């Protein structure tokens, strides 16, 4: 009887014993989780994602936690919605239904900024390879340059499921991607000022034609899905889901489905995705040199994306005889609508009469399509090479 | 395949492919807006 009581009491203190014996990484990760809570609550940094990620991180790092063991709640969520890429795709349906492509349809040439804004992906891929990452790891790290959390998770998890990259890396990549997306207002303005002259920043662009026919808006997602699906079928789930969400919205006949996509589906998927991603952040696997390199390369990727967009903007400025404001190029990334708002505020800073928002929105939605397209093309090339 | 040729292939085909696809999509969007122009409501009212 006495032994049983002592054994029972001992079990209660096993967690504390573990913490003192091997719990250093767990303590660090619990501190990381608390930092994420602070960033989300006090600083408003991507709270929708950081809150569940941080809570998942907290749960998995408590001593002797079984949440990521077979049958554990976070492991079940991971297998249910990340292992098969379901959650990122559901979030894409929501993103599609929340995105207004009208400015892009009014000025389709600005879609090219959405291509220039992906250059960071490919440059980072080369850097990651040079730093010793495997091909699959390098592609996953480079995907941070898409500035798009669900895309990063979709791509990296594909390799994690094949055992080509560690599962913990998916968590590091997701956190890096969402952190840098939130930091776009801090990262972009200095680059914008460094790469452009006052004269260039002050360029006023005429308002684009405002109206687009409903038929054109409806045809757009169908055409994009078909064309991009034929070119890069490996990315069809990504592009298909974003265009499905947009198609539901512009059709105007399924308001309940649009409402569900924007709210219930996107919210539930975001909560579960965040928790499951947080669950991959167990200290023993997460705190590695590779994780630090992932964060460093992610910053490089987003910086080069911005440089690429502004560089194309400067070329366009020269070719158009000074009619295109190069700042608009910085919006050619997927962080929507944050990047467009930054361009608008930077433009107005140098010319109070300047309204770049609609142009920047066009480039920004182009960036959304561009990031998905770049990921789709990467996956298709990998399939062509026999890697996927 | 060596890392160098893999990286360069991804850079050239990936970036080139993204740029070419988006240029094609931009052209198609232009055609869509030509094919489905905005109807002039005032003119329609007059005709009606």
Over residues A109-119, the pLDDT tens digits come to 999 999 999 99
pLDDT attached to residue B38: 80
pLDDT attached to residue A60: 94
- In degrees to the nearest 10, what's the CA dihedral of A115, A303, A295, A40? -90
Please give the average per-residue pLDDT across A112-135, as a whole number: 94
pLDDT at A246 over 90: yes
pTM score, whole prediction: 0.85
Q: What is the ipTM of this complex?
A: 0.85
- Residue B40 pLDDT grade (very low, low, confident, very high; cuts 50, 70, 90): low
Shortest distance between the Cα of A4 and any Cα of chain B, in A, equals 60
pLDDT attached to residue A198: 93
pLDDT attached to residue A16: 78
Say if the Cβ atoms of A381 and B30 lie within 8 Å.
Answer: no
Please give the average per-residue pLDDT across A222-236, as a whole number: 92
pLDDT tens sequence across A142-176: 999 888 888 999 999 899 989 999 988 988 898 88
- Residue A209 pLDDT grade (very low, low, confident, very high; cuts 50, 70, 90): low
- The secondary structure of chain A in percent helix, strand, coil, rounded to multiples of 5, reads 80, 0, 20
pLDDT tens sequence across A66-117: 999 999 999 999 999 888 889 989 999 999 999 999 999 999 999 999 999 9
Say if the Cβ atoms of A377 and B13 lie within 8 Å.
Answer: yes
- Is cis: bond before A126, omega within 30 of 0? no
Chain B residues within an 8 Å CB radius of A370: 18, 22
Calpha distance A294→A237 (Å, rounded): 26
pLDDT at A136 over 90: yes
Say if the Cβ atoms of B28 and A223 lie within 8 Å.
Answer: yes
From the list B38, B20, B48, the residue with the least C-alpha distance to A115 is B20
Contact residues, chain B to chain A, C-beta under 8 Å = 1, 3-4, 6-11, 13-15, 17-19, 21-30, 32-33, 35-39
φ and ψ of A99, to 5 deg: -95, 135
DSSP summary character for residue A164: S
Please give the average per-residue pLDDT across A7-21, as a whole number: 76
Domain boundaries defined on chain A: 17-383
Chain A residues within an 8 Å CB radius of B36: 213, 215-216, 219
Q: Please indicate whether residue B41 or residue A246 has the higher confidence score (pLDDT).
A: A246
Calpha distance A282→B26 (Å, rounded): 44
- Residue B44 pLDDT grade (very low, low, confident, very high; cuts 50, 70, 90): low
DSSP string, A23-83: -HHHHHHHHHHHHHHHHHHHS-SSHHHHHHHHHHHHHHHSTT--TTSTT-HHHHHIIIIIT
Say if the Cβ atoms of A381 and B13 lie within 8 Å.
Answer: yes
* Residue B9: closest C-alpha in chain A: A381
From the list A275, A26, A320, the residue with the least C-alpha distance to A171 is A275
- Please state, rounded to an integer, the average pLDDT across all residues of chain A: 91
pLDDT attached to residue A210: 66
pLDDT tens sequence across A296-334: 999 999 999 999 999 999 999 999 999 999 999 999 998
Calpha distance A239→A262 (Å, rounded): 17
Chosen from A133, A138, A208, A215 to mutate, greatest number of chain B CBs within 10 A: A215
pLDDT attached to residue A115: 94
Task: Indicate the residue of A213, A215, A381 with minimum beta-carbon distance to B14.
Answer: A381
pLDDT attached to residue B45: 58
pLDDT attached to residue B47: 56
Chosen from B15, B16, B27, B29 to mutate, greatest number of chain A CBs within 10 A: B29
Residues constituting chain A:
388
Contacts of A149 (CB under 8 A, 6+ apart): A49, A88, A174, A177, A178, A181
pLDDT attached to residue A352: 87
Shortest distance between the Cα of A112 and any Cα of chain B, in A, equals 6
pLDDT tens sequence across B5-36: 999 999 999 999 999 999 999 999 999 999 99
pLDDT at A14 over 80: no
Say if the Cβ atoms of A374 and B24 lie within 8 Å.
Answer: no
Contact residues, chain A to chain B, C-beta under 8 Å = 104-106, 108-109, 111-112, 114-116, 118-119, 121-123, 125-126, 129-130, 135, 138-139, 211-213, 215-216, 219-220, 223-224, 227-228, 231-232, 366, 369-370, 373-374, 377-378, 381, 385
């Amino acid at each position: 009887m006495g032994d049983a009581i002592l054994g029972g009491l001992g079990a209660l203190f096993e967690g504390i014993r573990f913490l003192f014996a091997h719990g250093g990484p767990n303590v660090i990760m619990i501190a990381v989780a608390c930092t994420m809570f602070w960033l989300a609550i006090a600083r408003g940094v991507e709270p929708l994602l950081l809150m569940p990620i941080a809570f998942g991180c907290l749960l998995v790092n408590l001593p002797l936690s079984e949440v990521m063991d077979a049958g554990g709640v976070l492991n079940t969520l991971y297998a249910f919605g990340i292992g098969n890429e379901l959650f990122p795709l559901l979030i894409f349906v929501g993103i599609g239904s929340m995105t207004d492509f009208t400015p892009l349809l009014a000025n389709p040439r600005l879609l090219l900024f959405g291509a220039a804004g992906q250059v960071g992906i490919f440059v980072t891929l080369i850097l990651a390879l040079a730093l010793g990452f495997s091909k699959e790891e390098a592609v996953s790290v480079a995907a941070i340059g898409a500035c798009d959390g669900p895309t990063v998770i979709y791509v990296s998890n594909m390799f994690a499921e094949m055992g080509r990259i560690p599962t913990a890396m998916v968590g590091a990549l997701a956190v890096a991607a969402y952190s840098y997306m939130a930091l776009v207002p801090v990262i972009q303005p200095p680059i914008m000022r460094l790469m452009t002259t006052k004269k260039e920043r002050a360029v006023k662009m005429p308002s684009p034609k405002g109206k687009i026919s409903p038929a054109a808006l409806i045809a757009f997602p169908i055409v994009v899905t078909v064309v991009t699906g034929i070119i890069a079928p490996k990315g069809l789930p990504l592009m298909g889901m974003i265009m499905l969400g947009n198609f539901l919205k512009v059709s105007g006949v399924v308001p309940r489905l649009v409402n569900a996509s924007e709210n219930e589906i996107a919210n539930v998927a975001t909560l579960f995705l965040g928790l499951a991603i947080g669950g991959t952040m167990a200290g023993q696997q997460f705190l590695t040199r590779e994780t630090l390199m992932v964060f460093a390369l992610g910053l490089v990727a987003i910086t080069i994306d911005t440089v690429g967009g502004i560089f194309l903007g400067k070329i366009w400025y020269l070719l158009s005889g000074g009619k295109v404001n190069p700042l608009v190029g910085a919006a050619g990334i997927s962080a929507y609508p944050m990047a467009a708002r930054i361009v608008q505020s930077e433009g107005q800073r140098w010319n109070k009469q300047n309204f770049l928002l609609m142009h920047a929105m066009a480039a920004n939605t182009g960036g959304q399509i561009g990031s998905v397209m770049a990921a789709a093309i990467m996956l298709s090339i990998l399939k062509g090479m026999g890697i996927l | 395949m060596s890392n160098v040729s893999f990286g360069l292939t991804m850079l050239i085909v990936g970036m080139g492919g993204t740029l070419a696809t988006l240029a094609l999509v931009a052209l198609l969007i232009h055609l869509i807006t030509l094919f489905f122009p905005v109807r002039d409501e005032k003119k329609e009212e007059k005709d009606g």
